[in-house]
Amino acid sequence: LKSFLRGLKPCPPQPLRGQLWCPSGSAGRPRWLAGMLITEEIATAFASLHSLLEKTQESVKVLVLAERAKLDDALLAEGEQAKRAEVALLEAHAARESQLAAEARAAKLEEKVQVKREEAKRLGEEIGRLEGKLEEKQKEAKAASLQVDRLETRLRQERTDARRDLVGAVTEEGLRRKKAQAQAAQAQAPPQRGRAGSSSPERGEEKEVAARRRQA
């Protein structure tokens, strides 16, 4: 259209009419013929413009569809990436919760272990004190056992001495009685000759006393 307008030039002046624009080389042609030529060229130009506009619209549609497809792909990829990020975030959150739960369980177990350690330490100290007391009791029992042994030995010795004293006393009492009886018998019996007969009963009594002492 611009190239067509560049080719127009002013027509010669006409009476009672203004200046008209005519195509180059159309001087002397009838006005109606010039108008028809202008109309055809304008129609052709508009047809070309319409065709170019349609092609441009088609190209724009293709570009728009391509860009929309790219945008859809980008949005889809972004959505998938967002989903993956959300899943990763949920997994990280779950892992964090699991870690916190594990740390809490570990802390509780550590507290229980610490309590058991303190209890074991207390029991160890108590066992140490009891062992000390037991050792003291064992020493006391050993000393008491030695004392009992000494007392038993002393008691046996005292029993032996008492038995010996008792036997001696009984023997002496018997001897005194026998001696008294012998003296009474001698006093009643007639006198005998010699000293051997009078000393034999005393020797027999002494032998008997010695034998009883050996038995005791």
**Whole-structure pTM over 0.75, yes or no?**
no
> What is the structure's pLDDT at 198?
45
Task: Kindly provide the b/e burial profile for residues 182-193, where b requires at least 16 CB atoms within 10 angstroms of the residue's own CB.
Answer: beeeeeeeeeee
- pLDDT, mean of residues 116-139: 90
> Measured between alpha carbons, how far is 4 from 27 in angstroms, rounded to an integer?
17
Q: pLDDT tens digits, residue range 131-150?
A: 989 998 899 888 988 888 88
Separation of first and last alpha carbons in the chain: 171
Cβ–Cβ under 8 Å, residues 185 and 204:
no
User: Over pLDDT 90: what percentage of the chain?
Assistant: 16
Please check the confidence at residue 53 and state whether its pLDDT lies above 60.
yes
Mean pLDDT of the chain: 75
> Measured between alpha carbons, how far is 12 from 21 in angstroms, rounded to an integer?
9
Alpha-carbon distances of 159 from 211, 214, 216, rounded to whole Å:
20, 16, 11
> What is the structure's pLDDT at 102?
92
Residue the block writes with tokens 């792909």: 73
Listed residue (45, 56, 21, 24) closest to 35, CA to CA: 21
> Measured between alpha carbons, how far is 47 from 28 in angstroms, rounded to an integer?
29
> What is the structure's pLDDT at 118?
92
How large is the greatest C-alpha to C-alpha distance in the chain, in angstroms? 235
